[in-house]
Structures are given as C-alpha cells and as structure tokens.
Structure 1
Amino acid sequence: MAQTPTSSAAGEQVLPVDPPPPQGDQARALPIWIWPALAITLVAVCGEFLGTRGSLAALGFCLVGGFVLMGRALNPRERGFAVALAVVFAGLATLVIHGSSARDLFDPGTADKKPAGPVDLRGKTLTADVVKRTEFRGALLAGAQLGGLDLRHENFAGASAQGITLSRTRLDGVSFRGADLRGADLRDACLRGGDLTGADLFGARVDRADLSGAEYDEAAEKTWRGKPSEGACR
C-alpha cells in the first residue's frame, strides 16, 4: 500500500512509520528451515539424556507446536482441525512421559519393555507375548512351560530351570551357559548353534533334539536321557 507523505512543522515531508509487526508475525517470518532444525535438536537432546521415551515425548510436543502454528495461519473454520490434532498429540506425549501406552491402559499385562533383572516364572505357561517382554538371564523357570515357542537367540544363561518344558521349541543360538536344566524336556527341540557350556543336564530328555553345532560339556552326554538327532530344525 502506498504511503502518503505528510508535512512537518518545518515544511519537510515525512513518511509515516509502520508499527512493528506483532510477535506472532515475527515468529512466522523466521526462515522455514529453522523449525525442523529446532525440532530435531530437541528430540536428539531428549533422547540422549532421557532415552527413547524422552525423544518420543519431545517429538509429540514438537508436533503439537507445529499444529498450533498452523492453526494460527488458517481461517477460523479450519483452525479447529489443527487444534484437535494438537490435543491428540499432546495426549500421546503425556502418555509417553508417564511410561504408558494406549495398549497398557487396556491391558496392563502387555508392557512392551522387558523388565530388568531376573524374573520368577516358576510353573507358568508362557506365551509369545510374554517372551517378547521377558529377560530370561538368571530367571527362575522351574517347571515352566515353553514348548513350541520361537526362542531363537534368547539368553537363558544362569537360569534356574529344573523340569522346564522346551519340547518342539526353536532354540537356535540360545545360550544356556551355566543354567540348571536338570530334568528339562528338550525332546524334538532345535538347539543348533546353542551354548550349553557348564549347564547341568542331569536327567534332561533330549530325544530327537538337534544339537548340531551346539557347545556342551562332554560329561553332559553321560547325564542326559535319550539320543539327540538332526532333523528338529527343519
């Protein structure tokens, strides 16, 4: 818009000075690349000091801020949609901060993160979902039922697993180093490439178990029951 010059008392022409833009307009006037850079920096810093949950929470709040800024640039009819998205992401970020997820709210027994430290699952029947969130190292597994599950590359080192059922279970590359497997049922289990060094296999049933490539003490062959053979890993 053209500015109309005015005359001062001394007869000089003076152009009117526009007032400074509102603070919000100044923010929108910043280069567009600054906002992604700030968001990435914030997520990276939170991830470094607060872990995965911190980075997810930071990402959620960055999205909230982005939708709020977008809403300010829209007309009133479209602004409600941006605000609704901001509220949704704010709620998700809050859940992350409190260490929860939507799945945890409806089913508290299905946390995604594996609990730290040994767990007591003696006599329990485990499912694939439980396996995903369980740390088996040093766990108490006497009499536990894990037959038919896929446990490839899990770590059972030092586990107390007398009488555990692992028949028809995929145990490729699994470590049972130093574990107590007395009386364990390993029939038809695939133990290819596993580590049973120092494991107590007294009375363990290994009929048709595939131990090809597995490491174990020679003395164990005199204490287990049955005869292993290849074929369980097919």
Structure 2
Amino acid sequence: MATLLHLDSSVFPGSASASRAVTEAFRRTWEEQHPGGTVIYRDLAVDPVPHITADAHTAAFSDPATHTPAQAEAFAERLKLIEELERADAVLIGAPMYNFTIPSTLKAWLDNVIVMGRTAGENASAKGTPVTVVASRGGSYAPGTPREGYEYVQNLLRAVLADGLGLEVDFIVPELTMAPHNPAMSELVPLFEASRTKALEEAAAKAKALAERLAA
C-alpha cells in the first residue's frame, strides 16, 4: 500500500490554522482511499527538526568512515528525514506564509533533506514523487494583485522541490485568511470563504485522484 509523508508547519493548532484544515481534508480522503496504507506524520511546529549545523552539513559530503562522533550523530538525524522522503509515494506539506516566506521550521526540514548527489542532482533519489503543498496566506499574492511581487512561498518551494529535488509539485492556495480577523479586510470575507471552500474541495479531489493514480 502507498505511503504518504505529511508535514504541517503552522504555529496554530487544529481548525485555527487554515493550512492544517486543508491538509487534514487531503489526508482524510487519502486514508479513505488507502485504509491499509501508511502515513508518516511530522508536526514541525510542535516537534521541530534540528537546524543544520556544521557537523550535519559536512557529514553529507564526506566518507562515513571518516566521520567524527559529532558528525555521525548529526547525520544520523538527517538520515531519518531523508529516508522518510525517499520511502514516500506522495508528500503533503502545509506551508503557510509567514513574513512573505515559509516557516523557519519547514526551511529547517528542507535543509536536512537536501543532499546534493543523493536527494538533489541528476539522479535525485525521490525524483518524480508527487508533492501537494497547501500554501495558505493572510492576503492575496496572486498574479495581477498589488502584492504579486512579494510571493516567496510558491516560488521558493517550486525551485527547491521541483527544480532541486525533482519532485512533481502541485499547489493548493487558500488565501485572504486574515479577512475574518482584520476589520480593514471585512469586505473580503466572502472572497476568503470562497477560497477556503475551493481549497477544501481541491484537497479532497487531488487526494482521491492521486490515490487512484498510485493504485493503478
């Protein structure tokens, strides 16, 4: 049965998080399609992975036989994350926009799993794995909007996941999530609600289609 690697990075729990609500909808449909499958779950906000250290970095580019104890220990932690990615048949990532970019906890995960010559490069070990990214944001950064030039979530993740790791990347973008909380955005609440509904529907549809594709 298929294995899904599910990462959440929102600092808000449960339904208080726009991205978590959508990843939950995706995962719920996925599990309905794969009742005997495996889900590897990491909540990067609750249980963050270590930031890259000099030992963790240099160990990836040297012979394991030459590793110092510190390098061996640091790379062992990276290896767990790398192998989870390599084992996954599909990946689901909750990536809310914080200060125009991804949460630092998600960046730390990326730094751990990117290893040139293994997960990245010509023969990337997870190449072709489908990845669904839920890129929620408080406003709108869509093409044609005033803040289009500040969109560094999709641009960054497309460069890293698709161009760097060779993954097949798809985005779901619930936007205007601050509208219900910011009086200055009150007139945008209907657009927020429409975006949320669309995102939830997309999550279920994409999860079902992906599950069917992998089972074929």
TM-score, normalised to structure 2, is: 0.24
**Which structure shows the bigger proportion of residues in helix conformation?**
2
Q: Which has the higher contact order (CA 8 A, sep 6+)?
A: 2
- Who wins on radius of gyration, i.e. which is larger? 1
Output the TM-score relative to the length of structure 1: 0.23
